[in-house]
Amino acid sequence: MATDYFANIPPIAFEGPDSTNELAYRFYDKDRVVLGKRMEDHLRFAACFWHTFCWPGSDVFGAGTFNRPWHRGANDAAAAADKRAVAFDFFTRLDIPFYAFHDVDVMAEAHNVAEHRRNFAEAVDDLERLQAASGRKLLWGTANMFGHPRFAAGAATNPDPEVFAFAAMQVRDAIEATHRLGGANYVLWGGREGYETLLNTNLGRELDNFGRFLSLVVAHKHKIGFTGAILIEPKPHEPTKHQYDFDTATVYGFLKRYGLENEVKVNIEANHATLSGHTFEHEIATAAALGIFGSIDANRGDPQNGWDTDQFPNSVPELTLAMVEILRAGGFTTGGFNFDAKVRRQSMAPVDLFHGHIGGIDTVARGLLNAAALIEDGRIDAARAERYAGWDGAFGQQVAGLDLAGIADLAVSSAIDPQPRSGQQERLENLVNRFV
Amino acid sequence: MATDYFANIPPIAFEGPDSTNELAYRFYDKDRVVLGKRMEDHLRFAACFWHTFCWPGSDVFGAGTFNRPWHRGANDAAAAADKRAVAFDFFTRLDIPFYAFHDVDVMAEAHNVAEHRRNFAEAVDDLERLQAASGRKLLWGTANMFGHPRFAAGAATNPDPEVFAFAAMQVRDAIEATHRLGGANYVLWGGREGYETLLNTNLGRELDNFGRFLSLVVAHKHKIGFTGAILIEPKPHEPTKHQYDFDTATVYGFLKRYGLENEVKVNIEANHATLSGHTFEHEIATAAALGIFGSIDANRGDPQNGWDTDQFPNSVPELTLAMVEILRAGGFTTGGFNFDAKVRRQSMAPVDLFHGHIGGIDTVARGLLNAAALIEDGRIDAARAERYAGWDGAFGQQVAGLDLAGIADLAVSSAIDPQPRSGQQERLENLVNRFV
Amino acid sequence: MATDYFANIPPIAFEGPDSTNELAYRFYDKDRVVLGKRMEDHLRFAACFWHTFCWPGSDVFGAGTFNRPWHRGANDAAAAADKRAVAFDFFTRLDIPFYAFHDVDVMAEAHNVAEHRRNFAEAVDDLERLQAASGRKLLWGTANMFGHPRFAAGAATNPDPEVFAFAAMQVRDAIEATHRLGGANYVLWGGREGYETLLNTNLGRELDNFGRFLSLVVAHKHKIGFTGAILIEPKPHEPTKHQYDFDTATVYGFLKRYGLENEVKVNIEANHATLSGHTFEHEIATAAALGIFGSIDANRGDPQNGWDTDQFPNSVPELTLAMVEILRAGGFTTGGFNFDAKVRRQSMAPVDLFHGHIGGIDTVARGLLNAAALIEDGRIDAARAERYAGWDGAFGQQVAGLDLAGIADLAVSSAIDPQPRSGQQERLENLVNRFV
Amino acid sequence: MATDYFANIPPIAFEGPDSTNELAYRFYDKDRVVLGKRMEDHLRFAACFWHTFCWPGSDVFGAGTFNRPWHRGANDAAAAADKRAVAFDFFTRLDIPFYAFHDVDVMAEAHNVAEHRRNFAEAVDDLERLQAASGRKLLWGTANMFGHPRFAAGAATNPDPEVFAFAAMQVRDAIEATHRLGGANYVLWGGREGYETLLNTNLGRELDNFGRFLSLVVAHKHKIGFTGAILIEPKPHEPTKHQYDFDTATVYGFLKRYGLENEVKVNIEANHATLSGHTFEHEIATAAALGIFGSIDANRGDPQNGWDTDQFPNSVPELTLAMVEILRAGGFTTGGFNFDAKVRRQSMAPVDLFHGHIGGIDTVARGLLNAAALIEDGRIDAARAERYAGWDGAFGQQVAGLDLAGIADLAVSSAIDPQPRSGQQERLENLVNRFV
C-alpha cells in the first residue's frame, strides 16, 4: 500500500559531521542556536508536492521513470489521498517543519469548475487533518495556472477573459485554503505569464491585466484577513520565450508601476536567478536593497545547460554567500527555504528522494554555519565598510549636500585627482574560503 | 594630411536597389516619404566618434591595427583637431544629419581637472564651427566616465566621493556643451556603474548614490534650460560583472524608485538587448509600454559570442521587427539611430568605415520600408487585435468591473470552460516574411 | 474520421511571389531549374512523423493542447493506422517528396520485444502501401532509443548490456525496414548517449561501447546490402547534461577513432548547431571540409532560449548562408531537408501544421535562389580567393616546400614585415544583403 | 627600483589551516606526501609572465590601472630586464617550482625580424641566469602570435604566407629557447587561429595549413632533440568568432586527421572549458579517455559573463572534481598547474598578486587533498563500477562477442525487458560533499 512507501527508511536525525550514516544530517541540527536563533527557525525548510510527489520522471524526450504507486491509473480521489498521506509521511521522516503545494498537486483531477472546487475542498480538508496529525505546517500555497491546456496563452495575461476568470476562481480558492491551513505565504509564479512572439502580443495590455490581477489578489487577501505575505517568483524564460517576471529588478518595477511594492515580495529561486544572468546571491541582495525580499526556492541549475534543471543545492560556497545576504537582510520573516528541486529522472528509487533532500538541507545548513562564522569574524564587512569611508569624511559630506554645479565647482576648486584603490577582491575571496 | 583621409571616396548618395555601386545607398532615400514623413526624419541617423574615430582597432588580445594618422603619437591638440575635421568630413560624405560623442573623444588628452575643462572647451568651440560649416547636428553628447583608471570602481557609484565629484564636473561640462551645441539628447551609459563582487559592494548604497546623481543631472538640465531628453543606456554586463542598468525593465524600476520616470528615457542598444536575454524589439516594445522609449544605438551582436561585439546591423528581418515597434510607439521624438558600431579589427582600410555605415543605414532603411508595408497591410495587427477581442465582449466587460471574489463567482456560475485558441505564430511569421 | 483531418485544406501549389494565398508556395517551384538542377532535387524536402503527428503539444510545464483524434485513447493499432494515413495525406497535400520516422512513431505501442517487432512490422507493411499509393519516399528511418524508461541511462552507452541488446534489436529492425522501404539514409541521434554526472560515468568505457555499436550497425548495413548513408546527428546537450555527439567536429574525431570516417556522415540540425556555440553554416562548412556532410534537419532555435525549441526556419538570410555552404559542398547526395520542426504549443489548429511547413519550405527555397544568385554573381568567392592568393606566389610556394627551420630561415633572410590587409567583412556582408 | 617591488612581502610559507596569516599557505604543504607523492610533485605549480607582469590592467573599456614601474615608458631592454627580475623574485617568494612565458612577454619590444631574434636571445640568456640563481624551472614556453597587428587574420592559418613564415620564425626560436631552458613542455594557443566570418574564409584550406604547421613543429622538436611535450590549448571563441581549437574533442579530431594524436596533447584551461559548454572536469576526463591529457591552465570564469575572465580558481568543490579526474588519469607527467589567471583590474596593489596566487594555490591544494580522500574512501568508485557490472556477467559477455544480428536475436530469444536502475546522482553528490 502506498502509505508504506517509505516504510523501510528510518526518520532522519542529526548525527554530526563525523557520522558515516548516509541517511542522517551531518550539519542540520535544528535546535542548535546560531546567531541567537535555532537553525530550524533560521531556515524554515519546506519540501514540495509537485517535484517530489507529482512529477513522474518524464522529460521532453521521454516518459516517466518513477512509477510511484499513485501515478499508476487515473489521479482519482484514492490516488490523491495516497499521495497526500505518503507526502506527509515523507515530511515527517525528514523532520522539517513546512511543506508547499499547488492546488492541483494535492487533489483528484477535475474536469470542470464545480469538480475542481469540490475535489480541492476535499483535499484541503485532508491536508488540515494531516497537518494536525503530523505537526507539519504550510510554508505557502499556490494555484497551478500553467499546466492545463486552457492556460496555454497565460492566466492573468491570457487574451481570453474567460481564462482570467478561471484563474481568479482558482486563486480565490487557493488563497482561502492557504489562509485556513495557516499558511505563512501565498505565492504566484507566472508560469505562462509571458509571450512566445511579439507578433501576436499586446505587451502593454497584458502587463496591465497582470497588474490588475495582482491588485485583486492583494485586495482579497486583506478582505479575508490573510496576514501572510503575497510572493511573486521571478523567472526569465521557460516555458514562455519571455516571462514578464524576468528577475527581481523587473518585478520591483512592475510592483512600483501598480503601487504594490509594499504589498508583494519575491520568492527567489536559485536556478531562475542564474538563468536570468545573475548569481543567486545577487537576487537576494537586490531584493533586500529594494525592500521586497520574501522567500527562497532552493535548488540549483547546471551552468552548462540553458534550462531549468531544478537540481538539489549542493554547493556549500554558493549557499554560504546566499546565507550571508539573507542574514544581512535580517533573515526570513514569513519566508523559508522550500526545496523546489527534483531528483534526476534516473534517480527512481524511493530512497533517492531522501538523498536529494538530506543533501540539500545539509548544504543550506552548512551555508548558514559558514555565513554566521564569516559575519562574526567581521573582516569582510570591515573591508567593505572601509571602502565607503570617504563618504563620512569632510569631502563626502560636502558632496552630499550640494547640487550638480556645486559639486562640479568643488571638484574644480579642489583640483581633485582621485586615485583608484584596490578593491581587494582576491583577498576577500580567500577570506570566504576560510569559512567554507 | 589627415583631413584628406577620405579624399578618394565620393559622397554617398541614393542610387536605388538596382545600383551596382557598392558606395551608394540602395534603400536610404532621405527625402522619400514613408507613412507621411521623410526617411531622414524617421530615422535620424548619427555616426559616433568613439568607435569610428577613436578606437585604434585593439582588443583584449592584441594591439590596434588601424593606424589612423591621428592615432600616431600623443592625442594632443593637433591630433584632436585632425580627428574632428576628418569625422565631420565623414559625416558629410555619408550625408547623415547627426553625430554623437563623449567628451574625451573629441578633445586632447588632459591630466587634471583644469586641463580637462580647457581642452574640452576648445573642442566644443571647434565642434560648433564644424557643425555650422557642415550642417551636421548633434544627436547626443555624453561624458566618458569609465575609461580613465580613476573610474575603475565606477563614477556615480564609486565608493570614493572624489570620483563622484569628478564625474559631476565632467557631466556638468558635457551637458552644458550639449545644450550649447543644440544637442537633441544627453546620454548616460553607466559604463562601470555596477560591481565586480558583492563581497566589497554595498548594493543599496551604490543604488542610492546612482539615483541621487541622476536626480542632480535632471535638476541641472532644468536649471540651464536644456530641453533635450536625458537618456540612460541599459546593458547587463561588461565591463563590470553586473551593470546596474541591466535592461529596460530594470531601468524603469530604478527611475520609479527615484521618481524620475517622467524625466528620463532609455537609449536602447541592440547588442545590449541580446546580451541581456531579450530581443532588440522586446526592449523597444517594453520601453514603449512603460513610456520611456527614447533613442537607439544601432548595432548587432554575435549570437554565439557572449560579449559586446558592436557589429553593424545587417539583418533586415531584425530591423523590420524593430521598426514595427518603433512605429507602433509613434516613432522618435528626440531620439534617432546612432551607429554605436565598429568595423572589425581586420577592416583597417578607410573605405571599410563607409562599407560599415552604408550597410547599416541601408539595413535600417529597408527595415523602415518593410515595417511600413507590414503596417499598411494590416493583417498582423488585425490578428493581434482579434486575439484580445473577448475583453470587449459582455463577459470581458463583466470581468473588468468585478473584484476577485466577484470574478470567481462569475466563473462558477457561468461554469466556464475556456478552450485554447491558436496563436497563429507560424502564420504571422510567414506574413512577416512577405515584407522582408 | 481521422483521415478527413485535413479535408478542408487544398493541396499546396506554387503560385509565385505575388500570390496573396497564404496556403501556397511563393518561392518553392519544384520544377524550376536552379544551377542546372530542379528545386525538388536540390532540396529533397521531408516532413517528419514525430513532431507533426506524434507530439501532443505538451511541454515540461503542461499537458498536450493538440487533441488530434489519434491522440485520444491508447496508441493501439487503429490509432497508429489513422496517424499514418493522415500523415501521408499531409505529405501529399504539401507535395514534398520525402518523409522520415522513428520506429515507435508509426507503430502501435508495444510492451515487450515480440510485440515491438510485430507492431513495427505491421506498420512497415502499411508504410510500404502508403508510399506506393502516394508516391512519397523515405528520406530516412531511425529507431527511438531515448523515450522509453529503459533508455534513461542511454542505449548503446547504457551501463546495462541488456539495454544495449534491446537497442540492437530495434536498430536491426529499423535499418532493415528502411532498406525495404527504399530509404535514402539511416539516422542515429544519440538521444540519451551522454551523461548526467561524471560521478557515476565511465566516459572511456561508454565511448568504446558507442563506437562498437556504430561499427556493428555499419557492418550490418553492408551485410544486408543497404546502400543508403548512415548518419549521426550531433547535439551538445539535452536531454542529457552532455551528449557524446556534441557537434560535427566532435563526431568527426569519434568516427576517426573507430575507423568509421568513410562510413558515416552527419545529419546537421540548425538548432543543435546554435546550441553548441556554432552557426548553422559553420556546421555545414565544417562537415564539408571534413568530408562528412550528409543531411539537414531544418529548424531554428530561439537565440534567447537555451533549449531546443525546434521552430520552423524563417530566416531567409540564415538559410541563404547555409545554402551557400551546401552548394559549395556540391549539394546533397543522399541527404535532404527534413523538417525536424514543430508548430508552437499554442498553434493547435490543423492548418497551423501547413503554415509551419509552407513557411519553412519557402524560406529554404528563397535561400537556394539567393545562394545561387550570390554564387553566380561571383564577387564574394572572388574576394575570398584573392585573400589566399599569396600562397600561389613565389613566396607562398617556397613556404609550402620547406621545413620549420627552412621557413624560419627564409623569414630571416627575407626580412619580411607582413602588413595586415582588410578582411572586408562589412563589404562582404553588404554584398550578401544584395541577395536576400 | 623595480626589483624592490615586493620587498615588503615576506616569502610565503605553509602555516596550516589554522593560521590567521593571510600571506601564508593553509593547505599547500609542498613536502606533504599524498597518495605516495609530494604535493609539489603532484601539482607542479607555475606562475605566468603575461597576466601577472605584462598586462597593465586595461580592458576594452578602459586604460591600465596597475602602473607597475616597468610599464611606464617604452618596453626597452631595461624595462624588460626589470620585469624579468621582479618576476623571478615573485616566483621565489611564492616558493613554486615553475613559471611560463610567451616570447614577447620577456623581451624588449622589437620592430623587425632581426631585432626580434636579438632581443629574444638576450632575454633567454637572462632567463637562464635567473633560473640558475633562483632554482625555478620552466613549465612551458610559447610564442605570442596573436598580439601584433600582423597576426590579425591568424598565424598558421593566415591567408598570407608571409605571416605563416613569421610565425615559423617565432616558434623555431621559442621552442629552441624552451629546449635550452629545460622547459617541460611547449604550448601552442591558437589565439587568432579561427575566423571572424565564413564569407572571407576557406575553412578547409586554413585547417590544412594549421595541420601542416603543427606537423612542422613536431618534426622540428624531434630534430632538435626536445623531449618535452607539445601542447595545444583549446578555446571556443575569443578573440575570434570561432577558434579552430574549440575544445578537447575538436582538437582530438584535428590531431587524428593530421596523424598527430600520439605527438601532441592538450593544455586545458578551466575558463575555456566552461566557455565551450563543458565543465572543467569534463575536459580533463575527455582528454584522459582520448589519451591526450597534458597540462592545466588554472583559472576560472564567471558563469554569468560570456567572455574569458581568467580569474583565480577559488572553488574547492570544482578543483576537487578536477583533481579526481587528474588522479584517475595518473596525474601529470610533463604538465602542471599554470596560473593563467589575472588579478582584477581594481586589484592594483602589489600584494593583490600574492593574494590571487595564494588563494589559487590553496584551492588547488585542497582539491588534491579532498580528491585523495575521496578516492581512498572508495565509495564513489565502487558505485560507478557496480553500474557497469552487467558487462562482466554472462549476458554482457555474450553481447560483447556477437554482431548486430546476433545481439538482436539474443534480445528476442531472451525476451529481455531491462529495467532502469537508479543512477544515485544525489547520493554520490552528497558523498562528494563529505570531502569538500
DSSP summary character for residue A54: I
Q: Across residues B4-12, what is the average pLDDT? A: 95
Burial D256-277 (b: 16+ CB within 10 A, else e): bbbebbebbbbbbbbbbbbbbb
**All cell numbers assigned to B250:** 530594470
pLDDT band at B2 (very low <50, low <70, confident <90, very high): low
Q: Is A179 a catalytic residue?
A: no
Active site amino acids of B: 102, 105
Question: What was the pLDDT predicted at B283?
Answer: 98
pLDDT band at C1 (very low <50, low <70, confident <90, very high): very low
Which tens digits make up the pLDDT trace of B403-434?
A: 999 999 999 999 999 999 999 999 999 999 99
Interface contacts (A, C; CB < 8 Å)? 95
CA dist C208 → C276, D99, D388 (Å) = 23, 38, 13
Helix axes B77-94, B113-134, angle to 10 degrees: 30
C306: nearest CA partner in chain A: A306
Q: Are A123 and C38 in contact (CB under 8 A)?
A: no
Mutate to test the interface with C, among D148, D157, D178, D200 (most CBs of C within 10 A): D200
Q: Which alpha helices (DSSP H) does D388-424 contain, by range? A: 394-401, 404-414
Please state, as a whole number, how many other Cβ atoms lie within 10 Å of the Cβ of residue B414.
Answer: 14
Cβ contacts of B204 on chain A, cutoff 8 Å = 288-289
Please state, as a whole number, how many other Cβ atoms lie within 10 Å of the Cβ of residue D332.
Answer: 19
Strand partners, C38: C33
Please determine, for residue D2, whether its predicted confidence score (pLDDT) is greater than 60: no
Q: Are B49 and B106 in contact (CB under 8 A)?
A: yes
How large a percentage of chain A has pLDDT more than 90? 99
Query: Which residue positions of B form the known binding site?
Result: 233, 269, 272, 297, 308, 310, 340
Which tens digits make up the pLDDT trace of B202-224?
A: 999 999 999 999 999 999 999 99
Please state, as a whole number, how many other Cβ atoms lie within 10 Å of the Cβ of residue A412.
Answer: 17
DSSP-based three-state secondary structure for C337: strand
Please state, as a whole number, how many other Cβ atoms lie within 10 Å of the Cβ of residue D224.
Answer: 16
Q: How far apart are CA D209 and CA D188, in angstroms?
A: 15
Q: How far apart are CA D192 and CA B60, in angstroms?
A: 12
Q: Choose among B198, B403, B411: nearest Cβ to A281.
A: B198
| Active-site residue, selected from the candidate residues D51, D102, D278, D282 | D102
Q: How far apart are CA A230 and CA A214, in angstroms?
A: 9
Amino acid at B122: E
Q: Are D184 and D228 in contact (CB under 8 A)?
A: yes
DSSP-based three-state secondary structure for B384: helix
Residue the block writes with cell 524625466:
B263
Please determine, for residue A1, whether its predicted confidence score (pLDDT) is greater than 80: no
**All cell numbers assigned to C276:** 553548441
Q: Greatest CA separation found in chain C?
A: 84
Please state, as a whole number, how many other Cβ atoms lie within 10 Å of the Cβ of residue A68.
Answer: 22
DSSP-based three-state secondary structure for A102: strand
Q: Which alpha helices (DSSP H) does D291-377 contain, by range? A: 316-328, 350-377
Q: Choose among A149, A241, A302: nearest Cβ to C302.
A: A241
Q: How far apart are CA B298 and CA C347, in angstroms?
A: 33
Question: What was the pLDDT predicted at D1?
Answer: 47
Q: D283: Cβ–Cβ under 8 A, 6 or more apart, which residues?
A: D234, D247, D248, D266, D268, D273, D276
Q: Across residues A81-99, what is the average pLDDT? A: 98
The H-or-E segment that residue B298 falls in is strand B293-298
CA angle A147, A151, A157 (to 5 degrees): 130
Query: Which residue positions of A form the known binding site?
Result: 233, 269, 272, 297, 308, 310, 340
Q: Choose among C152, C153, C304: nearest Cβ to A241.
A: C304
| Active-site residue, selected from the candidate residues A89, A95, A105, A126 | A105
Question: What was the pLDDT predicted at B153?
Answer: 98
Domain borders along chain D are 13-377, 381-433
| Active-site residue, selected from the candidate residues D29, D95, D103, D105 | D105
Please determine, for residue A2, whether its predicted confidence score (pLDDT) is greater than 70: no
Q: Are C166 and C113 in contact (CB under 8 A)?
A: yes
C394: nearest CA partner in chain D: D161
DSSP-based three-state secondary structure for B275: helix
Which tens digits make up the pLDDT trace of B118-131?
A: 999 999 999 999 99
Q: How far apart are CA D344 and CA A425, in angstroms?
A: 7
- Shortest distance between the Cα of D3 and any Cα of chain C, in A, equals 34
Q: Are D272 and D234 in contact (CB under 8 A)?
A: yes
Which tens digits make up the pLDDT trace of B236-250?
A: 999 999 999 999 999
Q: Is A105 a catalytic residue?
A: yes
Question: Exposed, middle or buried: residue D147 (CB in 10 Å: 0-12, 13-18, 19+)?
Answer: buried
Strand partners, B98: B46, B137
pLDDT band at C51 (very low <50, low <70, confident <90, very high): very high
pTM over 0.95: yes
Mean pLDDT estimate for chain C: 97
Can you say whether residue C399 is alpha, beta or left, with left for phi > 0 and alpha for psi between -120 and 50 degrees?
alpha
A1-10, A361-370, D3-12 — which one is most confidently predicted on average? A361-370
CA dist D139 → D99, D101, D169 (Å) = 6, 9, 22
Overall CATH class of domain D13-377: alpha beta
Cβ contacts of A348 on chain D, cutoff 8 Å = 420-422
User: Half-sphere exposure of B337 toward its Cβ, with a 13 Å CA cutoff?
Assistant: 29
Q: Across residues D240-249, what is the average pLDDT? A: 98
Question: What was the pLDDT predicted at B1?
Answer: 47
Q: Are D199 and C429 in contact (CB under 8 A)?
A: yes
Please determine, for residue C2, whether its predicted confidence score (pLDDT) is greater than 90: no
Cβ contacts of A424 on chain B, cutoff 8 Å = 200
Question: What was the pLDDT predicted at B367?
Answer: 98
Smallest CA-to-CA distance from C283 within C235, C345, C350 is with C235
Amino acid at C386: E
Question: Exposed, middle or buried: residue D77 (CB in 10 Å: 0-12, 13-18, 19+)?
Answer: middle
Q: Does C316 sit within 8 Å of B433, measured CB to CB? A: yes
Mean pLDDT estimate for chain B: 97
Please determine, for residue D279, whether its predicted confidence score (pLDDT) is greater than 50: yes
Q: Are A336 and A296 in contact (CB under 8 A)?
A: yes
pLDDT band at A95 (very low <50, low <70, confident <90, very high): very high
Query: Which residue positions of A form the known binding site for Mg(2+)?
Result: 233, 269, 272, 297, 308, 310, 340
Q: Are B44 and B96 in contact (CB under 8 A)?
A: no
How large a percentage of chain B has pLDDT more than 70? 100
Helix axes D248-257, C248-257, angle to 10 degrees: 50
| B242-243 and B229-232 strand pairing | unpaired
DSSP-based three-state secondary structure for C231: strand
Which chains lie within 8 Å of chain D at 3 or more CB pairs, if any?
A, B, C
C206 is in an annotated binding site: no
Strand partners, B187: B231
The H-or-E segment that residue D280 falls in is helix D280-290
Q: How far apart are CA B420 and CA C384, in angstroms?
A: 52
Please give the ipTM for the structure prediction: 0.97
